[in-house]
Chain A
Amino acid sequence: MELEGLPPIGGLLESSLVHWEGRVAAVVFLQGCNLACPGCPAPHLVPRAAAGGAEDGSGGVVPGNLIPAEGVLDAVFSRRAMLDGVVVAGGEPLLHDTLPDLLEILRSFGLQTRVHTNGTRPRALRRLLEADLVDSVALTLRAPLNALYSVAAGTEVDLGGIWRSVELLLGDPGDHEFRVVVDPRLLTREDLLALGRTVAGARRVVLEPAARGVLAGRPGRDYGGSGGTGGADRNLGAA
């Protein structure tokens, strides 16, 4: 097994019942993200170089405290009978050109694969879908696709790229899921409805509470109505 050309792995969750509903999945977290979301649940995965490592100047990663891919694959392989699939998350996994190699290995274990992406790399996403290397894609949206998105993402974002990713998934026959991160200090009810219109026709939309709020200075907003947003599944596409 050739392991040198694999993406940098910053974490492994050996089993999860929540990252891919209806399946028992291992979750592989790749190092590096192109967003700087204030409420990121895994900020240690954001730097392109892990702690102790450094960027090599070309956008690549020099390994620091990364988890050896061999150990990760061994752990997943040894549990393949109990697992349904593997979720590759991040960071932003589509940043890594070697992601297909990792997915190919996981597929060879007889496991299904899912990628969690922020949607900013539509071309990489298209390549994965065309190569039929993923069984499911989960795309996380943090705000309606307007100026607010850069606030939610903590950096300038190519909204056109996210649009193309959304359209790509809506037009793809494979399984997908849109995960909407709901931070009441950022989004209004109208924002959520706008997001609902963006993903209209989606197979599944999950409302996900923000991990923690660090959007300082932004007053809380009222969504109206009595319904909560705490992780409940809502089909915004049908709204």
Chain B
Amino acid sequence: MVRGVEERLGRARVRRIQAPLLSSLVDAELLEGGFLGEPRRRSGALVPRDAIEAALSPRSRPGAALPPEVAARRLGGEVLRAHALAEVFPEDVATAHLEGALHVHGLARPAALFALTLSLDALKVEGVPGAGGRTPSRAAEDLRRFLAQVGRASRTLRGYATHGVGVPAANLLLAPLLPGNGSEVPPAPDLREEAWHLLFEAASDPAGSAAAMGTDLDLLAEVPACLAPVPALGPGGRRTGESLGDQAARSLALARAVVAVRASGEGLPPRATLPGLNIVVGRAALGDPRSRELLREALEAALRGTPIRLALERDGIPRPGSLLLRDPEEDAGRCAADGGMRPFCAQRVTLNLPRAAFRCPPGDLAGFLRECDRLVDLAVAAHGARRSLLATVAAGEGGALAPLFVRSRRAGGPPPADLASGSWSVGIIGLNEAVSHLLGEEFHESDGAVKVGARVLSYLGLKVREAGAALDLRVHLDASTSGRASERFARLDREEHRREQEDATAGRGHYTEGAALRPDAPADLLLRLEREGRLHGHLRTAVFRLDPSAEPGVSEEGLLVALEKAFLHTGIHQISFEPGAGAPGRAVARAASSVARVGDGARVGDGARDGDGARDGDGGGD
């Protein structure tokens, strides 16, 4: 019987097989052999024994005790992952995921979204939604109570996201709640106290739960023109009579306090659990001495080891949601809308570009793009399947996503999120290695390689929009930062494309993230900025990582100059200052951090932000 099954698989040229299909083939053999009266009903997912055993074993420290609650969540994640691959997604998508041609993120929590934003203005008006959005608490009448609500709301939202929760314009929207009118800047010690409470409330749980995922706070270094005339909402969600533009000085002072308190860490939870800080920099901020002071202090904090990210916004429109949710098409409208700035990304599917390249002979760019076409179609099909699932679970007041999608009765306002307004992400990994295979040169080695990379991204950008439009989905092309997906792709490619992979990666156990230059490439800061900047322009989100410790002797003034260069002369979206990330051993350090995160809550940069188990601890990697 076993031979019979193997022969069937051989005839079908199937190299990997899902448990349910295998079970069905066994049934077929039993039936043909007369050992089974009728096929047994096979509903639900089968989880392989080794996956169960792995879920019950500590990953980071062999032999260490695994809390039963964490083990149960992991196992639940394994079951849901198997279920999603067997039942939710089309078979060709599931096969492509299992074979490593692409990576569907968040399979362990298929009913969750990829990334969410928390709108502070909406929270001011509506209070914190209760179970099913039916029993909201009262809108807060003072800043301290409001910050407690921010903590509660962000913890709630983190349960619905697999990658992260962003709080757009945190300093600007909190400023109207500070005592006094818009022209009064409270004393620095008072601001630091409020900053401390904000950071404390937004901190994640140490480890082991979905709430361990981080919250990102966006701090605006200026008041963008589109937000300046928006009425400021104060205590109880009432209009203060002033505009957000009137809050500029208080907003900036609060941002400086948040940076200072975050850098000192005094009395705060462990650093790994603290919220990420994204400082949104526009053109005006670069020319304003007060904004530059904030930037200088943030860069000084980065030099002392505080992870700081700078989002470069060149057109004056703040992209809400920090890393993932830059949504340039509708931002202007959203910013002005009541309770705006709460976009979300529903799902990300990351494409294995090196694999697509390895399937073509060197030089065959057209063949590579055809492979990419196939992958994009699969990724968008995965989005369509996920949308169907989300629509089901989001429906009705009792639905799993009800707090996000059901209108609050008390507030009577619009639902916190509209499924149709979400974006969908197609991520990429390993463009550098793909181009290296096709051209024989990496990005740092030739201008021609960057041109080919830009051409590929331009093509992919159009392709994902086109394929998304066919399903009425807003799909964007992003640089994926998932270290787990990168390592999984590289591991699976070693089996079938060992020679090509060794040529393209020189034996590294992972691919370069997104459209970045290889971290250990012999390229200086300017070359990296210039070359990655030309590629970032084709992506919705991408991160330029800069390790201050790799620039010995550099001062905050020097980093500020580098920031200005990046802003004015490149298309870089975001610079992430990550101490220790730029050294040649970066990938190793990041992988280690991902592992450590499960055990002790460690968090370094975005390497662990893959929307999978390492990030949210809810069921292991995909």
Contact = CB atoms under 8 A, between A and B. Distances in A.
A82 B529 contact: yes
Interface in B51-67: none
User: Which of B526, B551, B554 has most chain A Cβ within 10 Å?
Assistant: B526
Contact of A83 (B526, B551, B553, B559): B526
B567 to A, nearest CB: 12
Interface stretch (A16-24, A52-60, A91-99, A168-176): A16-24
Interface in B496-545: 524-527, 529-530
Interface residues of A, number: 15
Contacts of B527: 14-15
A114 B562 CA distance: 19
B553 A14 contact: no
A83 B524 CA distance: 13
B554 A18 contact: yes
Nearest to B564: A24
Given A23-B561, A84-B561, A231-B553, A17 B525 contact: yes
A13 B553 CA distance: 15
A82 B526 contact: yes
A13 B552 CA distance: 14
Contact of B526 (A15, A18, A22, A231): A15
A17 B569 contact: no
Please tell me the size bucket of the interface on B. Answer: 10 to 19
Given A14-B527, A24-B562, A82 B569 contact: yes
Interface string A1-37: 0000000000001110110011110000000000000
Contacts, number: 44
A22 B561 contact: yes
Interface SS of chain B: helix
Contacts of B525: 15, 17
Contacts of A13: 524
B555 interface: yes
A17 B524 contact: no
B554 A17 contact: yes
B558 interface: yes
Contacts of B557: 21-22
A135 to B, nearest CB: 15
B530 A17 contact: no
Interface string B548-581: 0001111101110110010001000000000000
Contact of B555 (A18, A79, A81): A18
10 contacts: A14-B526, A15-B525, A15-B527, A18-B551, A18-B552, A24-B561, A82-B565, A82-B569, A83-B526, A231-B553
Interface of B: 524-527, 529-530, 551-555, 557-559, 561-562, 565, 569
Given A17-B525, A18-B551, 11 more contacts: A17-B554, A17-B555, A17-B558, A21-B555, A21-B558, A22-B557, A24-B526, A24-B561, A24-B565, A84-B561, A231-B553
